Amino acid sequence: MVSINVTVDGRSESHDVEPRLLLVHYLRDVVGKVGTPIGCDTSNCGACTVSFNGQSIKSCSMLAVQADGGDVLTIEGLAGTVETDLHPMQEAFRECHGLQCGYCTPGMIMAACDLLKENPNPSEAEIREGIEGNLCRCTGYHNIVRAVQTAAASMSGTGVSS
Amino acid sequence: MIPAGFDYVRVNSAADAVAALQTSEDAKILGGGQSLIPILRLRLATPELIVDVSGVAEMNGIREDGDAIVIGAGTTHHDVTTSDLVRTHAPLLAQATATVADPQVRHRGTFGGAIAHADPAGDLPGVALVHNATMTIAGPAGTREVAAADFFLDYLTTTLAEDEVLVSIRLPKLGAGWGTHYEKFTRVAQSWSIVAVAAAVRRENGSIAEARVALTNMAPTHLRAAAVESALTGAAASAEAIKAASQAAAEGTSPTSDLNAQADYRAELARVLTGRAVAKAAGLS
Ligand SMILES: Cc1cc2nc3c(=O)[nH]c(=O)nc-3n(C[C@H](O)[C@H](O)[C@H](O)COP(=O)(O)OP(=O)(O)OC[C@H]3O[C@@H](n4cnc5c(N)ncnc54)[C@H](O)[C@@H]3O)c2cc1C
């Protein structure tokens, strides 16, 4: 076992973990952040996307031991970064029907927030490329793209840093 | 799926990584983990020891060194594509790296990991070949340098020994007069190349003075399209001349047939994509 210290959604966590434990299993089974789902076995689907030290990553493709000393933000902590009940990206997904079954949504929202951090005003093509690491099998992406555009508009000038 | 159990050690220098590798018969280096962790999860590999080099400062970052830039093996794809030094002196690498996978994978995956992994469908070994890159490798006997042309030996196989670590990659600058382009063919987003072509062309007075062309996924390793390169040398920088030279692109290749493409289709792609890549590198389209 290896002992690790990780900040998860603003709270400091310390645990002894097996080296083979994936970050996503650590978040779900050890810390209890079940808002982050597991979608695939191949690192393709992006459902488990979280922010690690400020950058989007697939938490199924990183070991928990590699997160030692780092800062993880999951979908569960996202709203805690703003004053409103929901983060503007979450609000926009609701507003624009950017989800149907909802399985991809936590990862999609985390990836979309990361995209706006690098590019606060993306074109439609840039949005589609920016979320290419996240698969949605319901929406056909159309309303997801609209949601990201809506969030970009509402976040510009609000001081929300995504 | 969950990887089989392994011991884990995080090291702070390339020398410590080499020392750690020597403590086990069955050790693996972990860079960004974007190829290795999926492999561990599918239990295609079950190493006894994982040596994590992702925190090694001397293996991270990009610096200018005279007529070259030197990129630490642990530099992430994201840091490569956003680097001004890379964009200025190796725009082909910036362009090809931006096509690798997706933003999340580019935040973790590293240049050195992609080179060491040597997947024939990977986008970066071909760029190393076109740049005539040199790999700096640390091992028990010290450091050695290997030219890209001698580095890739076979499918997923390089000259790296079990107890060696890729430390950095040196890319001679492609400066004034050179144009470059990476042409990648895929069917869907975030996917590997079915075939891709990296091209660099130096023009002089309306003709092509020098051309370098590397093919992705046309053989067990990346390879230079030597017949195209010699046909282009001294040719007019015209659409017709480039198209004619590109007909030789599949010479000496041995593409596979798989779910994405049959071998003869890959050969045709190599010819077509070479034409496009060279024309764009020559500033024609
Ligand atoms: C969904 C998905 C899509 C992808 N699409 C593409 C794509 O389109 N094009 C593409 O080129 N790649 C693609 N990749 C692979 C990606 O480029 C990987 O990041 C890269 O192949 C491996 O780099 P890494 O740092 O993650 O290495 P790791 O996964 O950590 O290691 C890979 C191998 O290299 C060895 N290694 C790593 N670092 C070193 C070192 N410094 N010295 C010696 N050996 C080392 C490891 O032991 C292992 O054998 C994709 C990956 C995923 C998950």
Q: Is residue B92 part of a domain?
A: yes
Tell me: do B146 and B200 sit in the same domain.
no
* Per-residue pLDDT band at B285 (split at 50, 70, 90): confident
Tell me: do A121 and A60 sit in the same domain.
no
Closest CA to B200 of B174, B222, B176, B169: B174
Q: Which pLDDT score, from 0 to 100, does residue B190 have?
A: 80
Q: Is residue B46 part of a domain?
A: yes
Greater model confidence, A117 or A157: A117
CA closest to A128 among chain B residues = B189
DSSP B228-272: HHHHHTT-BSSHHHHHHHHTTTTTT------SS--HHHHHHHHHH
Task: Please state the rounded mean pLDDT for residues B186-213.
Answer: 94
Tell me: do A53 and A16 sit in the same domain.
yes
| CATH code for the domain in which residue A99 is found | 1.10.150.120
Q: Is residue B177 part of a domain?
A: no
Which residue minimizes the CA distance to atom 6 of ligand 1? B101
Ligand 1, atom nearest to B137 Cα:
42
Q: Which pLDDT score, from 0 to 100, does residue B276 have?
A: 98
Domain ranges, residue B248: 182-281
Which residue minimizes the CA distance to atom 39 of ligand 1? B113
Percentage of residues of chain B with pLDDT beyond 70 = 100
Q: Which pLDDT score, from 0 to 100, does residue B175 have?
A: 82
Tell me: do A29 and A92 sit in the same domain.
no
Total count of domains within chain B? 3
Q: Which residues of A touch B38 (CB under 8 A)?
A: 41-43, 61
Total count of domains within chain A? 2
Cβ–Cβ under 8 Å, residues A75 and A18: no
Q: Is residue B262 part of a domain?
A: yes
B18-54 pLDDT, tens digit per residue, is 999 999 999 999 999 999 999 999 999 999 999 999 9
Q: Is residue B2 part of a domain?
A: no
Strands (E), chain B: 7-10, 27-30, 49-52, 62-65, 68-72, 134-139, 142-147, 152-154, 157-158, 165-172, 178-185, 195-204, 207-216, 223-224
Tell me: do A93 and A127 sit in the same domain.
yes
* Per-residue pLDDT band at A160 (split at 50, 70, 90): low
Q: Is residue B20 part of a domain?
A: yes
B154-187 pLDDT, tens digit per residue, is 999 999 999 999 999 999 999 889 999 999 999 9
| CATH code for the domain in which residue B73 is found | 3.30.465.10
* Per-residue pLDDT band at B240 (split at 50, 70, 90): very high
Q: Which pLDDT score, from 0 to 100, does residue A41 have?
A: 82
Ligand 1 contact, A43 CB (< 6 A): yes
Show which of A73, A99, A130 is a domain's final residue: A73
Show which of A73, A101, A122 is a domain's final residue: A73
Ligand 1 contact, B106 CB (< 6 A): no
Ligand 1 contact, A55 CB (< 6 A): no
Ligand 1, atom nearest to B74 Cα:
41
Please indicate if any CB of chain A lies within 8 Å of the CB of B2: yes
Task: Please state the rounded mean pLDDT for residues B223-237.
Answer: 97
Q: Is residue A79 part of a domain?
A: no
Domain ranges, residue A128: 88-156
Q: Is residue A62 part of a domain?
A: yes
Q: Is residue A47 part of a domain?
A: yes
For residue A110, the CA-to-ligand 1 centroid distance in Å is 23
Q: Is residue B1 part of a domain?
A: no
Tell me: do B68 and B166 sit in the same domain.
yes
What mean pLDDT value characterizes chain B? 97
Q: Is residue A162 part of a domain?
A: no
| CATH code for the domain in which residue B210 is found | 3.30.390.50
Show which of A48, A73, A98 is a domain's final residue: A73
Tell me: do B94 and B129 sit in the same domain.
yes
Ligand 1 contact, B114 CB (< 6 A): yes
Tell me: do B242 and B270 sit in the same domain.
yes
Tell me: do A6 and A68 sit in the same domain.
yes
**Predicted-assembly ipTM surpassing the 0.85 threshold:** yes
CA distance linking residue B124 with residue B83, whole number of Å: 16
pTM above 0.90, yes or no: yes
Q: Which pLDDT score, from 0 to 100, does residue B215 have?
A: 98
A15-52 pLDDT, tens digit per residue, is 999 999 999 999 999 999 999 999 998 899 999 999 99
B79-82: list long-range contacts, CB under 8 Å, 24+ apart.
B80/B111, B81/B106
Q: Which pLDDT score, from 0 to 100, does residue A161 have?
A: 57
* Helices A142-155 + A88-95 axis angle, to 10: 140
Q: Is residue A83 part of a domain?
A: no
Tell me: do B48 and B65 sit in the same domain.
no
Tell me: do A68 and A92 sit in the same domain.
no
Tell me: do A50 and A95 sit in the same domain.
no
CA distance linking residue B284 with residue A151, whole number of Å: 40
